[in-house]
Structure 1
Amino acid sequence: MLATSLRRDQVRQIDQIAIEQYGMSGLVLMENAGRGAAEAIAPLVRGRNPVILAGRGNNAGDGYVIARHLQLLGCEPAIVQLTDPSGLRGDAAVNWRIAQAAEIPTWSVQEEGLEELLERAGRSDAIVDAMVGTGAHGALREPYSRAAAAANRAAALRIAIDLPSGIDCDTGTAAGECFRADQTMTFVARKRGFESPESKQWTGHVTVIPIGVPRKLLRSVYLH
């Protein structure tokens, strides 16, 4: 039987082995993750216009894929880009370009001040957290800390991608401001920190989203 949760190092190991040893494209993994998350999110946000809070790493890349698939599922999402998109790299940059070519509505910190941007996002009735992922350590930096605080004040359904920004993947604790999710869409398996009772105030209900990683790979990682 496979283990039920993953440590931060195991998450990184699964991605690395899938790409380097199994020949799985990082873009395919990101597409699978984003599409699976969007399919789980769509029934929750139908009739709402969700905004995706995006940073600059692969978590943001997942968010761009989610926005694209939410459109296809009948929603009207918007991307809130909290950092300069010129800093995006790799698969996240590819999916940013796709989202822009697809003309998904985007509100950018380059075009609006951060406070104005967060005020607009706070008026939305569903907020998707795609700011930082499992690799993050310690307290959230700006602008993510202010974005999480603004989201938490909003009268909105809050959905985290992989894990809420600000929570530690391994311990389930938050060193400072943390996105307080009603729902968390986590990839491959629950994260080790979710086992901590303290984490529930941040994660809300957790749904596991498969991303197509082979069972043989998962078993090899879980056994080490």
Structure 2
Amino acid sequence: MLRPSLRHSLSQISEFFSPFRRIQIELSGSMYLTAIASTQDGDISAQALTRHQVRRIDQVAIESLGVHSLVLMENAGRNATDAICGFLCDRKKTAIKNFRVAVICGGGNNGGDGFVVARHLYNAGADVCLLLAVEPKKFSPDAAANHLICQKIGIKQTEITNATLLNHVLSLDGKYHVLVDALLGTGFVGKVRSHVVQVISACNRQRSAMTSIVALDVPSGLDCDTGKPSNATIMADLTVTFVAQKRGFLQPDARKYLGRVIIADIGVPPELIAQVRAENPDV
């Protein structure tokens, strides 16, 4: 049951759900639009959330507010793309159309976020390739829907389901300017499976002054609650995390894997985030 204050906010719900709600940021003399929230802003989105709280926010948005899960994924991916474009164009001092980008996707909803990012980068003029770490038949429904769109608009893709093929794809230094990590999300706990260990290790080997790694929501292999790295963990230059920082990000062990952290909006009301935090303060 939603609290009265949250029910009252539904009269303005279109403002919160719009994927085009942005904050204007100045970077190197050029403006770009993004839904970035600084971790120093002091608002509710800057407060760290647990894995359980993130799931609960999604659940209430979908079941009580009627926001389709595909809308949340679209908002997340679109706003992550804005953050990525700003970060990369500022760092490399060139337009996004000059970047070669590999988006490395797992089969869950983190992979689905990656497909949305790939589409928007492709539409912005970047040279984009999808690297699929699992077979398409194993995708979650929302990931499958966004993968299909990528196929239909002609984004290149390669399955990297064995080590030999993976090493071939990533073997050339400087082949990609950016690797987007969309392998494992906030649901990850425990040990990384052997094939994904190989994928993560190959990505980390490519990280250099020429090749940046951007993680979506959380670097793959990092436990978002504890901040502990697993047997293989992405070392990101930028982490675009959704809704709020994750509790594990505040731990010393996590810092070297995160790089810069940017928070991206997914289109849920701040009142909902506050309510979930109040209901589950220590979960």
TM-score, with structure 1 as normaliser: 0.94
Q: 1:26 aligns with which of 69, 84, 102?
A: 69
Q: How does 1:1-16 map to 2 (within 5 A)?
A: 2=44, 4-16=47-59
C-alpha deviation, 1:64, in angstroms = 0.4
AA at the equivalent of 1:77: V
Matched, 1:115 2:164: yes
SS of 1:223's equivalent in the other structure is: helix
Matched, 1:137 2:186: no
Any stretches of 5+ residues in structure 2 without a counterpart?
A: 1-42, 90-95
2: CA distance, partners of 1:210 / 1:96: 22
Partner of 1:90: 141
AA at the equivalent of 1:185: V
1:52–1:77 contact (8 Å) kept in structure 2:
yes
Partner of 2:243: 188
Matched, 1:214 2:266: no
AA at the equivalent of 1:18: A
2: CA distance, partners of 1:185 / 1:88: 22
Partner of 2:19: none
Partner of 1:36: 79
Partner of 1:60: 111
C-alpha deviation, 1:139, in angstroms = 1.8
2:166–2:199 contact (8 Å) kept in structure 1:
no
Count residues in correspondence.
222
1: CA distance, partners of 2:151 / 2:77: 16
1: CA distance, partners of 2:196 / 2:141: 21
1:82–1:114 contact (8 Å) kept in structure 2:
no
1:19–1:26 contact (8 Å) kept in structure 2:
yes
AA at the equivalent of 2:168: E
* Residue deviations 1:171-200 (CA, integer Å, cap 9, x gap): 111121100001000000000000001111
Partner of 1:178: 233
* Residue deviations 1:65-122 (CA, integer Å, cap 9, x gap): 0000001222111100011111112111100111111111101136xx4322243235
Deviates more, 1:150-159 or 1:55-64: 150-159
C-alpha deviation, 1:41, in angstroms = 1.0
Calculate percent identity across the aligned residue pairs: 40
Q: Could you say what the CA RMSD is over the residues aligned between the two structures, in angstroms?
A: 1.4
SS of 1:133's equivalent in the other structure is: coil
Partner of 2:12: none
Q: How does 1:160-175 map to 2 (within 5 A)?
A: 160-175=215-230
2: CA distance, partners of 1:217 / 1:122: 45
2: CA distance, partners of 1:75 / 1:50: 7
